[in-house]
């Protein structure tokens, strides 16, 4: 990779004044502000598909650092690649990254919610477990 490193490219910020938020990040934070307000007022949850945003090189990292890191992170892998759910430093805002089974990012969302639905136990799965548990108890009784 040394060849590539020899080519000096510096991307200047569209917003050249130092210390201020990048334009895209600013716009997304505004949207999040509206969504957070709605969550508090009406309980309405929402999500932003990060892959649908025309992000500038560097915007992604800037957005992540603007939102910060919160207290909770969780990971699961049900056989189709891991999903990583992280609470950002902005309470009520979660960063959800779905990987495929080759560990590439398949989809990525910012969710505005008290807890992302994907972390909750799902009725279908609870039913299956209940059935399994009952069968086990049944078997033990007949022994």
Shortest distance in whole angstroms from residue 106 CB to other proteins: 4
Shortest distance in whole angstroms from residue 57 CB to other proteins: 6
| CA pair distance 87, 68, nearest whole angstrom | 9
Phi and psi, residue 48, nearest 5°: -120, 130
- DSSP label at residue 58: T
- The residues binding other proteins (CB under 8 A) are 8-12, 14, 23-24, 46-49, 51-57, 59, 76, 78-80, 83, 96, 98, 100-102, 104-109, 117-118, 121-125
Our CB check for other proteins shows the closer of 79 and 143 to be 79
Shortest distance in whole angstroms from residue 89 CB to other proteins: 22
Q: Which helix (H) or strand (E) holds 111?
A: strand 105-112
Our CB check for other proteins shows the closer of 40 and 126 to be 126
| CA pair distance 143, 141, nearest whole angstrom | 5
- Cα 123 to Cα 57, 117, 126, 130: the distances in Å are 41, 12, 5, 10
For residues 59 and 22, is the Cβ–Cβ distance under 8 A?
Answer: yes
Our CB check for other proteins shows the closer of 90 and 99 to be 99
Our CB check for other proteins shows the closer of 24 and 88 to be 24
Shortest distance in whole angstroms from residue 75 CB to other proteins: 12
CB-based contacts of 22: which residues, under 8 Å, 6+ apart? 13, 14, 15, 56, 58, 59, 62
Our CB check for other proteins shows the closer of 8 and 141 to be 8
Shortest distance in whole angstroms from residue 90 CB to other proteins: 18
């Amino acid at each position: 990779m040394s060849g590539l490193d020899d080519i000096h490219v510096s991307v200047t910020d569209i917003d050249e004044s130092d210390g201020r938020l990048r334009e895209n990040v600013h716009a997304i934070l505004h949207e999040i502000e509206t969504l957070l307000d709605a969550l508090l007022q009406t309980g309405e949850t929402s999500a932003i598909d990060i892959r649908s945003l025309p992000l500038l090189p560097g915007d992604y990292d800037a957005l992540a650092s603007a939102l910060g890191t919160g207290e909770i992170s969780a990971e699961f892998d049900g056989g189709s690649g891991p999903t990583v759910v992280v609470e950002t430093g902005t309470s009520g805002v979660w960063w959800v990254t779905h990987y495929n089974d080759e560990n590439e990012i398949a989809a990525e969302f910012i969710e505005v919610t008290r807890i992302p639905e994907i972390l909750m136990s799902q009725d279908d799965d609870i039913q299956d477990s209940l059935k399994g548990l009952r069968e086990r108890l049944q078997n033990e009784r007949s022994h």
